[in-house]
Structure 1
Amino acid sequence: RLEAIASPAIVQAFNSNNIEQAQMYVRIFTSISRLPQLMKYYYKCQKDILLQKWRNQLEIEQDESVVQWIHNYYSVLLSNWHTQHRWFNQVFPNESAVNALIDIYIDVLSSLDPSLNECIDAALKQVSEKLSFLYDVKQTTKQFADNLMNVVNQTSQGKPDTDMTNKLLKAIYNHLISYVNKYAAYEQANLMKQLSTLNCMKEELPDTIQALGLSITSVIDIANAAKKEMSTNHRELRLLWLTYCTKSFSTRLRRFL
């Protein structure tokens, strides 16, 4: 009964970051052994605020790129962590701010609407350099993960819980998984596009054989350039690249023979 009556005021206190009001509700809910229920209010308020910020950002930044959307939202999350960590410690001094915020961020990152994957998929249909675009997304995500983990380590009382930080990292990188699985196909398409410009097919077989022989250097240059790109920017996908692209070259060469 008390919760039902106080619910709108509790939500208002949390949404406005009103420390005095929130502390009052902490005392009340602690006295009736209902503090976990009050923390659920905080959790939901924070989640709703962060999800709304994502929706608002997309409306305001319609002319920006998807990579910029992601970068800007990650900046919001980092700033919010600092603000809420201080606020939480003042309102819930006996609870772990880091654990609470990790739980919230995991939920938020998996609940974005539209999701990061939906935004990235839409962008992939419009960009010609898909690998370059995905690399930018990956770098933006990695930078956020590194920055957030630094903040987590700095704001933790002692060593942060490994299981929770692993779950957080999984949530941060989750939108990249499907593109890792498709990476070989993207690389193969990119290489096939370059190979198609070699134009080795001639009207006469001897001319085709000669053109094929002359193109070997170009084929090797294309392969080496792709390998260098992989070594520099996509080391974790090197084995996948070698497997698929070797198959791709073999298929292409068999068409010439």
Structure 2
Amino acid sequence: MLTKRIIPCLDVKMGRVVKGVNFVNLKDVGDPVQVAEVYNKQGADEIVFLDITATHEGRKTMIDVVRRTAEKIFIPLTVGGGINSLEDIKNILRAGADKISINSSAIKNPDLIKEASDKFGSQCIVIAIDAKLRDDKSGYNVFVHGGRIDTNIDAVQWAKKVESLGAGEILLTSMDSDGTKDGYNSNLCNAICNAVNIPVIASGGCGKVEDFYDVFNKTNVDAALAASIFHYNQNTVSDVKKYLNNKNISVRL
């Protein structure tokens, strides 16, 4: 059985790790290099580093911070934010990232997914999907620019398309659950997992160790990403893994 991955997320703004609720009201929680190092020591399976305002501010991801973070950790590092071209991807992989995550630029130019996958391998191309329940509750729409713009694209259809274009993984964030600490959105996770055959990472809403168990027990996601629970020292990554192991969820201890 494949082990389930536990992935701390570093949302970075102006070189600092921040955390908010429903994508707003951001608070400073530390230096990304130091935070990543702590999670590496705690036994995180991977780390996701998202430069959350790069696209909105029309600038590139902070390569220097990526490089310094990559030097301190010995687990896979996924980097996203402001990545718009094959050149951007090459630069971030050269700086030490193992995978890149794209969202807004993939919507704007879906061919970028195929080109990147052909050039660098699908295993390092992660498509981030920020999804929000439509007002009529009929399904989920994809949002871009850090959750600011509704694309009116159906999240399930988009997930199928990115898989067909060569994406190796989907980082799925429920905007409705983000930062609420009310648990992952199992309905959204199931909708996407049932539509694709590539790994799906659940994101948004984790508030306690039981939330990890619920999402792995109720859905087929391959990994769960969290921020608040780790940033505020509520629980360590190793706490979460011990708990899951005791609940017979396969994790790398």
TM range (shorter): under 0.3
Larger strand share, 1 or 2: 2
Q: Over alpha carbons, which structure has the higher Rg?
A: 1
**Structure 2 length normalisation: TM-score?**
0.26
Larger RCO: 1 or 2 (CA < 8 Å, sep 6+): 2
Larger helix share, 1 or 2: 1
